[in-house]
Structure formats: structure tokens, C-alpha cells
Copies of this chain bind each other. A is one copy, B any other.
Amino acid sequence: MITQLHEIAHPQCSACQIRERAICSRCDDDELQMLEKIKYYRSFSAGDAIVWRGDSTDFLGSVVSGTATLGHTMKDGRRQMVGLLQPSDFIGRPGRALAPYDVTAITDLVLCCFQRAPFERLVESTPHISRRLLEMTLDELDVARQWMLLLGRKTAREKIASLFIMLATRAATLGGKELSGQVTFDLPLTREVMADCMGLTLETVSRQISALRREGLVVLAGSRQITLPDFEMLAAESGDDDENEALA
């Protein structure tokens, strides 16, 4: 559980796998140069804490590979995940060093970090960065609000279906694959983390997955690789209107 930080190699931004979607996606070559100067990489193992709630952090950064959760734990142990961070997602808020949530690597993960002070100056002086930051923040807000609907009003079954649809969609856009008919993706979450994401218990998660499997809506290879024989058919179980994605 101790945070492990191996600094690792220093690839060129221009060759970066998340170049097209991350905080730097609008930057031109000059601006990338500036970012190169203040960036460094850190890698984490599955289970490592990246930031603890209340910590003062001296960096912000982008997830390059792997998955992390943003979570909040109550004094009595109840826990709610409030964000799922995947490649190209951004960690940290300019102007506030104190972390309001726990950030945890749930798979092995590589983070492209920027030192806080110089990055904040860069945000001020570089519209391509501040513009992208606003855009990404607005998108995160939409995701959070979708998630509120899920937490407040969906049934356990709809919650699981929604999660799978979301993960399949995310995996497809990152991998540039087609999103209909049969879709396969990796499940980076344990049953417990899934439960903490959706406001359920891990037993309920397990039961609902079993039910979907019995009905042939999902097929498991091991407990972590998921195949949806019919994407649209599962989407119909998620409780979302079809028009939903059109607006997002």
C-alpha cells in the first residue's frame, strides 16, 4: 500500500500515445517544448495510492496508461468512487494543492506529471492549455451528472449494464474500434471497486453479473475479460435513452 515511485524514461511528447486527447492536445510544437521541460513520469503498481485526500500535492498530470479511481471514504468505512481515470484523463486542479479525494491506481499505471508551479504559470499564459482544461472539466462535469442519475435512480441491473456500456465505449474510443454487435473489453475493476462506483455491495454486483450472464447478455472469460455478444441489447438494459449519447 506504500506509494511507489519509479521515475522512468522520458519519451517525446510528439510520440505520446495520449497526444490527441490529453491536456496538451491543442498545443503546438513550441508549447509542447515548454511542457517537455516541466514533465516527468511516474509509475504505480495496482493498489498504490497516488494521492491521499487532504494531501498537499506538488504535481498535476495525465494518466498515460492504466486506470485509477477518484474516491471518497466516510469515517465509518462507506466508500463512493466519484471518478474513473483512464488514459488521457487529468489529475489535479490548478490553484488548489490540497486534494479533495483519494486517487488510487487500480491497475499498473503510468502518470505524466507536471510540477505544479510552472504548470500553473503555463496555464495562465497558454490559451491552448487553459482552453483544453476548461473543455475537459466541462466533459467531466457531464460524466459526473450522468453518474448522479445512475446513483440516484437506476436499479442494480441498470447500474451494471451502464457500467459495462461505459467501459466498452471508453475502450472502443481509445482503441479506435467499432461499437456495435460483439464487443470485448477488459474489466479493470474488482467486484468491490465496481460496487463502490455504483453505490452497491459487492454481492449485489456479483449477483447481477451472474444474472446477465445467465441471460446471455454478457460472456466472461475469467472474471476480468468481458464480451458483450450484442452491444445494443445490453445498452437497452441500461435505462438510458438512445438520444443520450447524441447530446454528450
> Which listed segment binds B: A139-147, A172-180, A183-191, A207-215?
A139-147
Q: Which of A122-139 contact B (CB under 8 A)?
A: 127, 130-131, 133-135, 137-138
Q: Which of A182-212 contact B (CB under 8 A)?
A: 198-199
List of B residues within 8 angstroms of A78 by Cβ: 153
* Number of this chain's copies in the complex: 2
In the complex, the answer to whether B153 meets A199 with C-beta atoms within 8 Å is: yes
**With contact pairs A138-B93, A144-B145 given, residues A80 and B241 touching in the complex (Cβ less than 8 Å):** no
In the complex, the answer to whether A135 meets B95 with C-beta atoms within 8 Å is: yes
Give A199 Cβ to nearest chain B Cβ, in Å. Answer: 3
Size of chain A's interface in residues, with CB distance under 8 A? 43
In the complex, the answer to whether B241 meets A74 with C-beta atoms within 8 Å is: yes
**Which residue of chain B lies nearest to A197 when distances are taken between CB atoms in the complex?**
B152
List 23 A-B pairs, Cβ < 8 Å: A53-B247, A72-B145, A74-B149, A78-B153, A80-B149, A82-B145, A100-B142, A100-B247, A100-B248, A101-B145, A130-B130, A133-B134, A134-B134, A137-B138, A140-B141, A141-B141, A141-B144, A144-B144, A144-B145, A147-B148, A151-B152, A151-B199, A152-B198
